[in-house]
A and B are shown apart, each in its own frame.
Chain A
């Protein structure tokens, strides 16, 4: 089936099984390897992208869900001002260890910075509660987002 959507601000059209997971569409059809598969069941957040500006888990979302909508992946976010700011803060705080969870955290943090941005630890914890990191103790991740809120 032909599906049209906006991917990282560019209009795209693909011929694809409408049930194909959005995660696989991004990785296989577009070579965007930033979104990762951890659990494949919506629990870990490594596959997080923005769909019409709101964070979703792309592993339990289908190609058809993107039709006519805007998808922003971590690759797109990395080019935005708030994305660059967040990367800088994660870097300075040494918040990333193996890095597998990082794209997902970046997308959720970006959404928080864009829609709220309060320097409020509890709010940040809630905003990132759909993302799991198995290496760090989370504190440095929260510190990075707090720092980004402060600098913005």
Chain B
């Protein structure tokens, strides 16, 4: 295992450009140290990014709330800016992991790790969060809903880092929201099913609805077909059979040691009904 400690982003680009493969970043270390313990990273080149100043802080810029990728879950749930504009995040991440893990775990690490069970993902997805990806050639933006393409597979190229996460400050204005993580216990639990939703109702009709699920596919995702079906409908117009058919196309729950696929399907359906009906 080799270790590198860039002082800033430019330094980081220089270092990563010289390493051919097996590059891993060390932020809070809560995922990577578990992999090291299980001997999964013996040939790794570890780059310590937890001190990079460009990746820190939570602040407002025009109509955006900006989270540096190194923002920890503790910082996120305690942030007055988040409580004011995006309480959906601070309210629902209180039980993330455990108070001890919350101190170290970063949002950037959680997004990069890309576990289908990650608690924050469905929330970022309904909020249409944008990721700012920094590389030697410059920065570009990618919507979180376009970031994954397989189990723990994302669109980061070699030498690129998630620099920040940006969310529209007014994303929660005039909408109702929903979030439920279903797990075996309150803290330190891996989700069996997670649903996040955001809905705008005008004159009794669903004008806009964003739905995202976790733990039901190889990566967390929005449910675009269901969103399209529900848009423009009144509650009375929603047909349960139709809802089931579309949902069956959009989620592919598996049976594992935590629960059966039929259970996951029913719970997801019931959560959606609780929200929209």
**Interface-facing stretch out of B11-19, B94-102, B265-273:** B94-102
Contact of B186 with A129 in the complex, beta carbons under 8 Å: yes
Contact of A54 with B74 in the complex, beta carbons under 8 Å: yes
Per-position 1/0 for A8-32, Cβ under 8 A of B: 0000000001110100000000000
Q: Please, which residues of chain B bring their CB within 8 A of the CB of A21?
A: 33
A127 is contacted by which of B5, B74, B99, B104 (Cβ under 8 Å)? B99
Q: Please, which residues of chain B bring their CB within 8 A of the CB of A61?
A: 29, 33, 104
Q: Please, which residues of chain A bring their CB within 8 A of the CB of B46?
A: 19
Contact of A108 with B5 in the complex, beta carbons under 8 Å: no
B175 within 8 A of A: no
The minimal Cβ–Cβ distance linking B32 to chain A, given in whole angstroms, is 8
Q: Please, which residues of chain B bring their CB within 8 A of the CB of A35?
A: none
B98 is contacted by which of A1, A17, A130 (Cβ under 8 Å)? A130
B229 within 8 A of A: no
A38 within 8 A of B: no
B30 within 8 A of A: yes
Contact of B100 with A108 in the complex, beta carbons under 8 Å: yes
Q: Please, which residues of chain A bring their CB within 8 A of the CB of B74?
A: 54
Per-position 1/0 for B1-17, Cβ under 8 A of A: 10101000000000000
Q: Please, which residues of chain A bring their CB within 8 A of the CB of B48?
A: 18, 64
Q: Please, which residues of chain A bring their CB within 8 A of the CB of B103?
A: 51, 54-56
Contact of A129 with B188 in the complex, beta carbons under 8 Å: yes
A132 to B, closest residue via Cβ: B188
The minimal Cβ–Cβ distance linking B34 to chain A, given in whole angstroms, is 5
Contact of B100 with A62 in the complex, beta carbons under 8 Å: no
Q: How far is the CA of A56 from the CA of B103 in the complex (A)?
A: 6
Q: How far is the CA of A130 from the CA of B185 in the complex (A)?
A: 12
Contact of B100 with A126 in the complex, beta carbons under 8 Å: no
The minimal Cβ–Cβ distance linking A88 to chain B, given in whole angstroms, is 24
The minimal Cβ–Cβ distance linking A129 to chain B, given in whole angstroms, is 4
Q: How far is the CA of A55 from the CA of B101 in the complex (A)?
A: 8
B27 to A, closest residue via Cβ: A65
A144 within 8 A of B: no
**Interface-facing stretch out of A39-47, A73-81, A93-101:** A39-47
Contact of A19 with B1 in the complex, beta carbons under 8 Å: yes
The minimal Cβ–Cβ distance linking B127 to chain A, given in whole angstroms, is 25
The minimal Cβ–Cβ distance linking A134 to chain B, given in whole angstroms, is 14
Q: How far is the CA of A71 from the CA of B268 in the complex (A)?
A: 44
B225 within 8 A of A: no
Q: Please, which residues of chain B bring their CB within 8 A of the CB of A55?
A: 99-100, 103
Contact of B37 with A18 in the complex, beta carbons under 8 Å: no
Q: How far is the CA of A51 from the CA of B50 in the complex (A)?
A: 14
Contact of B30 with A130 in the complex, beta carbons under 8 Å: no
Q: Please, which residues of chain B bring their CB within 8 A of the CB of A17?
A: 3
Q: Which of A19, A45, A54 has the most CB of B within 10 A?
A: A19
Given A64-B48, A108-B99, do A56 and B104 touch, yes or no (CB 8 Å)?
Answer: yes
The minimal Cβ–Cβ distance linking A64 to chain B, given in whole angstroms, is 6
Contact of B100 with A41 in the complex, beta carbons under 8 Å: no
Q: How far is the CA of A30 from the CA of B1 in the complex (A)?
A: 24
CB contacts under 8 Å to A, within B110-164, are: none
The minimal Cβ–Cβ distance linking A121 to chain B, given in whole angstroms, is 14
Per-position 1/0 for A50-70, Cβ under 8 A of B: 010011110111101100000
A130 is contacted by which of B34, B36, B188 (Cβ under 8 Å)? B188
Q: Please, which residues of chain A bring their CB within 8 A of the CB of B30?
A: 42, 60
Contact of A130 with B100 in the complex, beta carbons under 8 Å: yes
B4 to A, closest residue via Cβ: A18
A130 to B, closest residue via Cβ: B98
Contact of A130 with B187 in the complex, beta carbons under 8 Å: yes
11 more contacts with CB within 8 A, not counting A19-B1, A21-B33, A131-B100, are: A42-B97, A45-B100, A54-B103, A55-B99, A60-B34, A64-B3, A64-B48, A129-B98, A129-B187, A129-B188, A130-B98
A-B contact pairs, 8 of them (CB 8 A): A18-B5, A19-B3, A19-B36, A41-B37, A56-B104, A60-B29, A64-B3, A127-B99
